[in-house]
Amino acid sequence: MFEFCTDPTALPDWQWMACYLTTGKHMAFYNAFGTVLLLLAITAPAALALGLAGATAARGRLWPVRAIGRVYISIVRGVPDIAFFLFFVIALDQGFEWLRHQALCPDWDQPIRQGSDFLVCPEAKLPLTTAPEAVHQAYGFFLAVISYAIVFGAFTANVLYGAMNTVPRAQMETAEAYGMTPRQAFWRVMFPQMWVYALPGLSNVWMILIKATPLLFLLGVSDIVYWARELGGAKVAQFSDYPHPDWRAWYFLFLLVFYLAFTAVSERIFARLTRRLSRGQATVAGEALRKGAA
C-alpha cells in the first residue's frame, strides 16, 4: 500500500508493521468485519419478523396454525445451532439446485442422487463453476443469512410468545368490550405493550446472535475468525514476504476486544430502549420512572 513497501526485509520496525497491516490479506480481514456487521444488520430484522410470525401462529385460534408455530419453536430451540446451520445450508443449496435442474434440464436422464453424491446438470449449479469468487462468497452469505434467520427466529418467537402472554388479559377483554375485533385488540393493545416485557429476552437473543457470528466460517464464508487464524499463524520467510512467529493470540485478543466493545454498546442501546418503553407502563421499571419524575 505504501511506496516504501517494495522490500520488506530492509524496512525498520514501524514501516515493516505498517506494510504488514496493509497487505491484501489484511484488507480482506478488515472487510470481514463488514461482513459480520452486514450479517447482523440483515439477520436481526429477518429473525424478528420470523419470530413475530411464529409467536402469533403459536397463539392462533386454529389448531393447525397453532401447531405449526409451536413445533417450529420447539424443534429449532431443541437442536444444537451448529447442526441446524449445517443442515440448512446443505438443504437449501440442494433445494435451489434441484428446482433449477427441473426447469433448465428437463431432458436429463441420469439420477440426481447417486449414492452420497447430489449431481445436477452444469447449468443448474449454484453458483455456476465459471462464476467469480465474489459470487461464490455472496451465495454462501445468502445461505448463511437464511440459516441464521430461521434459527434465531425460533428463539425470538419464544421470547415474543412469552411477552404476549404477559400482557394482562383484562386489557384485551376491555378492548373487546369497546367493540374492537381480536385483530384490532392485538395491534392496538397487546402489540405496543409486549415490547417492554420482550426486550430483556430479545437482548439475550441479540447477544447470542453476536457470539454465533464466528460460525460463518463453518458455512463457507471467510469471516474474521478465519482470517485471524490464517494471518496469525507462524509464517516463514520462504512462504511469506512478512515472516513472523505465531501471533494468533494477538489476533484473537483483538477479536475479544471487538466483541466485548460491541456487546457493551448493545447493552447500552437496549437499556435506553427499555427505559423509553417503560414510561407509563405498570411495571417495576415504569413505576420507578414515575416516582423518579414525581
Collapsing DSSP states into helix, strand and coil, what is residue 179? coil
6 domain-assigned? no
88 located within any domain? yes
In this structure, are residues 116 and 94 in contact, taking their beta carbons and an 8 Å threshold? no
Q: Which three cell numbers stand for residue 241?
A: 514476504
Confirm whether 247 is domain-assigned. no
List 251's β-bridge partners, or say none.
none
- C-alpha 70/C-alpha 80 separation (Å) is 18
Retrieve residue 180's grid coordinates. 374492537
Q: 97-117 pLDDT, tens per residue? A: 888 888 888 888 888 887 777
Q: Is residue 4 part of a domain?
A: no
Q: Which residues are CB-contacts of 153 (< 8 A; sequence separation ≥ 6)?
A: 46, 47, 48, 49, 50, 51, 53, 54, 76
For residue 47, being part of any structural domain is answered with yes
Q: Pick from 116, 117, 123, 115: which is nearest to 99 by CA?
A: 123
Residues 140-160 have pLDDT tens digits of 888 889 889 998 999 999 999
Inside any domain, residue 270: no
Cell numbers linked to 40:
447482523
pLDDT of 239 higher than 80? no
Q: What's the domain count of the chain? A: 1
Q: What is the CATH number of the domain that holds 175?
A: 1.10.3720.10
**Is 253 within the bounds of a domain?**
no
- Domain extent, residue 180, equals 31-225
Cis upstream peptide for 8 (omega within 30°): no
Query: Chain-centre distance of CA 164, in angstroms?
Result: 24
Q: Model confidence at 287, in pLDDT bands (50, 70, 90)? A: very low
Q: Give pLDDT tens digits for 152-206.
A: 999 999 999 998 888 888 888 888 888 888 888 888 888 888 888 899 899 999 9
DSSP 3-state assignment of 114?
strand
User: How far is 88 from 50, CA to CA, in rounded Å?
Assistant: 16
145 assigned to some structural domain: yes
Q: State the pTM of this model.
A: 0.82
pLDDT at 102: 86
CA 44 to mean position of chain CA atoms: 6
